Chains A and B, each alone.
Chain A
Amino acid sequence: MPVELYRIDDRLIHGQVVVGWGQPLDLRFIVLVDDEVASSDWEQELYRMGVPPEMDVYFESVESAVRRHAEFAQDGRPGLMLTGDIETMRRLVDGVDAIKRVNLGGVHHRAGRVQRLRYVFLTADEERALRALSARGVSVTAQDVPAARPVPLDDILTGKGDP
């Protein structure tokens, strides 16, 4: 079974991921790809605490996630791979040709970012990175929760995303 969702969300593991997506997709594992978290026992314990016992969490650096991706994709259980920012997802896609869809789930306000959707704020560099992902055949859509309409990248960047 392929990984169900590749998500960018700066809150990493939180309610929308564990419950909002976890329940309808029946997620059984989350791969949190973040170099900082992967090197910190404290950070890992923090995120592990919030995950229900039936769901496994794997903490990977970009390098180890690329190396282990085939293993996760062949796991047989529904899973989600999660990064906290666009640059980390770009690095992941660079190393894994099999990633063809990326979900923008939450990139919140920060200095230098411009609001594109209620839950998506982007810098010019981040917009370029998303366009580059799209140009290489990766479908980029924004969708915070399963019940929401997936917003295509063009609509995100042209301000047509929010009703």
Chain B
Amino acid sequence: MNANQQSFEPVLTRNTHRPDSEKITTYLTHGGYQAVRLALTKSPDELIDMVKRSGLRGRGGAGFPAGVKWGFMPKDAPQKFVAVNTDEGEPGTFKDREIVERDPHQVIEGVVIAAYAVGASRAYVYIRGEFFLGVKRWIKAIADAYAHGFLGKNILGSGFDLDMSVHRGAGAYICGEETAMLESLEGKPGNPRAKPPYPTQVGLFSLPTLVHNIETLACIPHIIERGPEWFASIGTAESKGPKIYSVSGHVNQPGNYELPLGISLREIIYEHAGGIRGGRRLKAVIPGGASTPMLTADQIEIPMAFETLKAAGSELGTGAIIVMDETTCMVEAARRLAKFFAHESCGQCTPCRIGSVRLYELLDRIERGKGQPGDIELILETAQGIDGITFCPMGAALVNPARSAIRHFREEFEYHIINKHCIVG
């Protein structure tokens, strides 16, 4: 444990244990909406500079530097938007659900600051259709923020206006991808757009749009209030600030844990999530949601940071950790994730539409004892034919479970094909 972890104090979840934590009165009682008062006394450029200096990177999976994105928003456009991504669908991830259900005002405060900094007059929240409680919490929180003068005309006497509304998705994983989300907000099927142009240039209704995940936006008030230096003092060289890790699978205490970036997987699993259930041995870990390559038990000293996970052949993704113990069949784990991606492919481009189904069929027949010699090579070849040649990042994502499972546990796949059943019994 390093020095900054010893002194680490949760900020994003600091109110979530309180009764009525979602209410504006609770938020105000515990220092809420102070950052926006401070922000409105600064110039937009000062705010953009603060976010750049904080080192904040996007928490929705891609990890793009937030301040750089703010800087990409054109200064002279007649109308600009902020789009707030609450379309949490990456298997293993449930942090955004907790944020919106338990502390939505923290996000609204971040949205107001971001909108003011980039000159946006309208904010659209997109929320996953299945999050029924989340929708209700968003609607109530926005209404209360209007009533208290944090949204609407002339916010806190600053002359800055911002309107905000909530829009429900209707069950499509791909709408978490930013351009698919914009299509869906426009009332269309969620087919991702080709990039460039990026949403900061051509976004919602073809106007410049700043798109952020809600955990990213939740960081903003704290950066403004405590200063970018405070934020940048937490974490590693390239991964700064606090992070909410969703931990699930074979642990004793699944749940969300807010901890610094850079903390090791071992510490999260064993010191926070209660270790492996039943005292069993750890076998594999997915570190950042279903689309990130899995790691093995001997890799858990790796710090949870963008650069360290990349170096280890995986990704930080959403920081959603799925823990699998020694009883897990890796063919079945890969098969199940492949089924998810085959189900969720939007069908717009061929490698993903056809390839995702072919990958699932191959894994399914191995799992059912119908595997043929050469199937492993065929899976890897199919993955090669998908990765890097699709419209959106889903192609690269969907090959990760099978590829990484074969990389680390190839003998299990071979055993399955030869013996027609699982090595773990």
Partners in one complex: no
Interface residues, chain A, with chain B CB atoms under 8 Å away? none
